[in-house]
Structure 1
């Protein structure tokens, strides 16, 4: 499904938020090899990790499709998306 550039930027923001959430959980719970996690902690972390993985996978596919459909390099599109995603929404 073709996305607009703005939708891809939002996908990037969502993937970044999911990555941050996953990192926060790992920091909060500690390394699983050093500190035994409860089942709830494990389930929470795995859910967050899967969400991040799925969002990033979908983002990567959309970056490729967008670049192809607009005759641009994927690297250029990705750099532009990353730069735009760093700006607060509505500031552009």
Structure 2
């Protein structure tokens, strides 16, 4: 059974993914990683709330959110991601 996810959850996870990329693309600093850690906290809180509201297992909601965010970030099938014209 596929879980119907609100777009807000997927967007929060995408923001966390982007923040992680930015945090890990340069030398470590607490200030540089804070946006990622804050974004992860926001995702965690939102997933927990949604799981409680829907009665779904939290880990299943989290997995579905991560998969949906990853799928929405992936280049279209057959594309090398380079934006060929």
> In which range does the TM-score fall when normalised by the shorter chain?
0.7 to 0.9
Aligned mate of 2:54, from 53, 61, 70: 70
TM-superposed CA distance for 1:25, in Å, is 1.1
Alpha-carbon RMSD across the aligned residues, in angstroms, is: 1.9
Provide the residue aligned with 1:52 in structure 2: 36
Structure number with larger C-alpha Rg = 1
Please, what TM-score do these two structures have when normalized by structure 2? 0.73
More helix per residue: 1 or 2?
Answer: 1
Please, what TM-score do these two structures have when normalized by structure 1? 0.68
How far apart, in 1, do the equivalents of 2:72 and 2:37 lie?
Answer: 23
What does the per-residue CA deviation read over 1:22-67, in whole Å, with 9 as the maximum and x for residues that have no partner? 10012xxxxx7xxxxxxxxxxxx44331111111111101100000
TM-superposed CA distance for 1:6, in Å, is 1.0
Contact (CA 8 Å) 1:18, 1:48: kept in 2 or not? no
**Structure 2 portions without partners, runs of 5+:** 77-85
**Structure 1 portions without partners, runs of 5+:** 27-31, 33-44
